[in-house]
Structures are given as C-alpha cells and as structure tokens.
Structure 1
C-alpha cells in the first residue's frame, strides 16, 4: 500500500521482492485498490539487493520473525546516510537503545536472539514507525486498502531531527496522516497494549474481535493481560493513560474484525508471537513485573502454534519450504520486503508481510 501511494505521489521507488510478487511488480508496477479505484506507479523491482544499490530510505515490511535472516542481506541497500524505517508489528530490537532510564541498552532476545539485526542495522540508522491502517493483498502485487491511513514516526532517542521532518513531509505528500512523535516508544507500547491480546487469542480460538469481546470470561482475561502490560509500561516509562475497557470499545467498533495473526493462522503462515507477546514477557522479567495471565496467554498460544507447525523458532530449527527465513538465507529478500531506490524516506502498510520493503527519494 505504501509503495503504491509513494509512487502515485511522484516518488522514485524500488522494491526487493521475489516469486509471483516480483513478476507482478515488474509487469504492472505498484497497484493499490482504494474506494476510488486502483492507483499506483512504476517501480524498479529485483530479488537482488545489489541490483538496487544504496537507498535514501529503506522500509522494512516483513514479519518480525523474518528480520534476523533478512537484515544481513540488506548491506547493498545501505549507503552512508540511508535511513531504515521498520514498519513491523510488536516491540522492535532497538526499543531500549538510547532511550535513557534504568533499562537503556536492554537487549531483547525474543526479537533478536543473537544480535544479528542490531549488528546489521545500527539504531543510528533507524526512524521508528507505528502503523495504524488496514490493508490486504488481493493477489501478488495488488493490495487493497480497507481502513485507516495513519503513520507515527519518531527518532529512537526522542526529540526531532531534519531527517525525521523530511520523511514525515514525503509520507504526508503521499496521502498519509502522519504524526511526528517525540517519544516513539510510547506509541509503540500503546499500539501493542491494544493488540497483544486480540491477536493471539484470535489465532488460538479462530474468533473475530467482536466475539472475543462479547464473551464475558474471555473479555475479563483480555483486561487482565492488558493490566499486566500497562504495569510493565509504567516501569519502562511508557504509561497508558486509558482504561482497558475504553480501549476495547474502540476495537469493538471494528465489528467482526479478523486480526493479522488470525489471518496468518488460517493461511498456515508463521505467527508473530515473539514480537507481540514473548518480548513483553521478557521485558516483564527484566523489570520484575509479575505476569500470570500473560504467561498463560503465551504458553497456550505458543503450544497451539507449535502443534500446528506455525511457531517461527521451530521452523528455524526444522526448515520447510514455507520458512521465510530459509528463503532469505537462499540469497533473496523475504517474501514481502522492499526498498525504494533513490531519494527520500518512505514507510509502509499494516500487514507487514504483504509488501516488499521499499525506500525512495525526497
């Protein structure tokens, strides 16, 4: 979605893709179906980062569990001043880098087990991104926009910068509602607080968001987990100024909403459990915050994913043709990642596994 909007606004874009998506991008360029029709524009697409060369901005739009294998392959895209924008669900590897406070520099093994991502993408390159929109893939190379168009951008160390303002301007010109945050970790935690329960519970039960919230017992469990996550947020300087009940009313208004994790489970794709729940429990342990309800949620969902062959770490140790990290090791970008060639920075769309990662010029 983001690639199509950027191209339509006149940005020069490039995409790192593979398979049928690569073929479609080469044939048709970017395509996005909106309420007003199909928009898009040209793109230079390749499955070889070296063929694209250094970018002004690289947007990472893969699933979080694909990043450790993908990150080391990105070197050809990174010039001296390249900005990297991870538009990925959950808590990112850089979350505590330069943020100050008691937990400054805390390494998060749940999302970067051996430090591969941090080594390949130094935090100094990163502009944080929180995505608030819904889109899906109709077919390879063709996305459909469902709702929302908000992106929050921020420097990991806080404050603002010239590159942040320039990136926000470019993204705004492409039609997104852009907010520049001076505390991006707070925005990441708030979004996580709202979806770290609905996503795994939907994958575990097969229920849409409305059915989860309409069940009195499950609703109570959701609020208990959210309470634990809010307590962790207080310890790390990311307080939540809203009640769980009020937040869930926002979710309820979405109706029979199918979360991204439910869609992945139904399609037999690996689940983003570690970036949404395992990492939160890891932070809880570092802060000494008890999380009995969160532990139950993680244990049940992880076991369910393992039984169904959908837990990424199990796939890493027993590679299958569906393992995106093995595809990356084969010398290609993961199934949907991308980079925009030339110019300024660009972010990307909600289902982070549905597009190639992109970058673009100012």
Structure 2
C-alpha cells in the first residue's frame, strides 16, 4: 500500500500513516513519485474493469483470451501514453502486469460485480477522467473511448430497465 505526497516530499503525516499501516502488517512504502504509482494502478483498472463489466469475464479469462488480451494491451498502452504526456513514469512493463492479472484465478472485477447487481459503475472516475486527460494532452484514446461508450450504454440499459445482469453460470461445460 504505497503512500506519498503529491509534491514528492516525505511529510510527517505520510510517514505517520505509513508507520501505522506497517504496524498493522501491511507493506506501506513512502514514494517520492506517488502520481506514477497511481497511474500504474489506473492503467490496469481502466482496461480490466470495463471489459470485465461488458463480458462478465474473470481477470484470467480477459488476459488469456487473445482478442481481449490484445484490447487490454491497447487500452493500457493508450493510458500509458496519456500518463507520459503528464510526466508520469510507469515502472512495470504492461506485458508483466497482464501476465500477473492472468494468474489471478476466478476474480471478477468490482465493475463487473456492480453491473451484475444492477448498480452504477465507477466508469466516470476510472475511464471518463482519463478521457478528459487524453483530450487535454491531445493523446490517442480510440480504444478507451470505444470501451467507455459501451459501458455507458450498458449502464443506461440497466438503469432504464431496472434490471441486474445475472452472473454467467460457470458450471461444468
């Protein structure tokens, strides 16, 4: 659970929070560049969560099925380009992050779970905000825009018809 101040300083408050988390048994390093760490997490979330919401697929399925793996890769690459335009540095290669997500067996993202329960998703915070940054930085976001549009339509349909999208039956094939 990395922590940091936006300006990169190691303030007393961030050091205290780090110590509390460490005392509770969590790894909580104080980082100088927390913005890049936020982008690292966000680039995965903005690809995995919406695609999972649309397909009901687990992380493993998203990352091993070639067409969605390619889409995840493209979306993460677009997000990294936006991050780079804003001065962030992503410390892990996206291939490694996709491989790591593929090892998480049976996990459905929170956005998928929201759709299955008929709730609104966090699409605006996760992807809408990044699309605004893409526009401000004149960055390509073709795949991000397409997936965003599909999730927004899915939310509209769920809201309009007051339905929940039932989880797929993952019984024996």
Q: Does 1:268 align with 2:118?
A: yes
Q: 1:243 to 1:170 in 2, by over 3 A?
A: closer
User: Where in structure 2 are the equivalents of 1:57-76 lying within 5 Å?
Assistant: none
Compute the TM-score of the two structures, normalised by the length of structure 1: 0.43
1:282 maps to which residue? 132
The 3-state SS of whatever aligns with 2:2 is strand
| Higher share of residues assigned strand | 1
Q: Does 1:187 align with 2:40?
A: no
Query: In 2, distance between residues paired with 1:210 and 1:237?
Result: 31
Q: Does 1:222 align with 2:44?
A: no
Per the TM alignment, residue 227 of structure 1 is displaced from its structure 2 partner at its CA by 0.8
Cα deviation, 1:53-74, whole Å, max 9, x if unaligned, reads xxxxxxxxxxxxxxxxxxxxxx
| Higher share of residues assigned helix | 2
Cα deviation, 1:286-310, whole Å, max 9, x if unaligned, reads 0010111111011111111111129
Q: Does 1:298 align with 2:148?
A: yes
Which of 165, 190, 196 pairs up with 2:15? 165
Q: Is the 1:265–1:271 Cα contact (8 Å) retained in structure 2?
A: yes
Query: In 1, distance between residues paired with 2:31 and 2:88?
Result: 13
Query: In 2, distance between residues paired with 1:286 and 1:302?
Result: 21
Q: Does 1:174 align with 2:34?
A: no
Report how many aligned residue pairs link the two structures.
Answer: 161
Per the TM alignment, residue 241 of structure 1 is displaced from its structure 2 partner at its CA by 3.5
Max radius of gyration: which structure?
A: 1
User: Where in structure 2 are the equivalents of 1:1-362 lying within 5 Å?
Assistant: 151-309=1-159
2:166 maps to which residue? none
Per the TM alignment, residue 178 of structure 1 is displaced from its structure 2 partner at its CA by 0.9
The 3-state SS of whatever aligns with 1:181 is coil
Per the TM alignment, residue 242 of structure 1 is displaced from its structure 2 partner at its CA by 3.2
Query: In 2, distance between residues paired with 1:241 and 1:178?
Result: 17
Query: In 1, distance between residues paired with 2:93 and 2:38?
Result: 17
Q: Considering only aligned residues, what root-mean-square deviation do their CA atoms show, in Å? A: 1.6
Consecutive unaligned residues in structure 2, runs of 5 or more: 163-173
Query: In 2, distance between residues paired with 1:211 and 1:170?
Result: 37
Cα deviation, 1:77-99, whole Å, max 9, x if unaligned, reads xxxxxxxxxxxxxxxxxxxxxxx
Q: Is the 1:159–1:183 Cα contact (8 Å) retained in structure 2?
A: no
Query: In 2, distance between residues paired with 1:213 and 1:171?
Result: 31
Per the TM alignment, residue 234 of structure 1 is displaced from its structure 2 partner at its CA by 0.9
Moved more, 210-219 or 284-293: 210-219
Query: In 1, distance between residues paired with 2:24 and 2:15?
Result: 14
Compute the TM-score of the two structures, normalised by the length of structure 2: 0.87
Query: In 1, distance between residues paired with 2:85 and 2:4?
Result: 21
- Higher relative contact order by CA 8 Å / sep ≥ 6: 1 or 2? 1
Q: 1:254 to 1:184 in 2, by over 3 A?
A: same
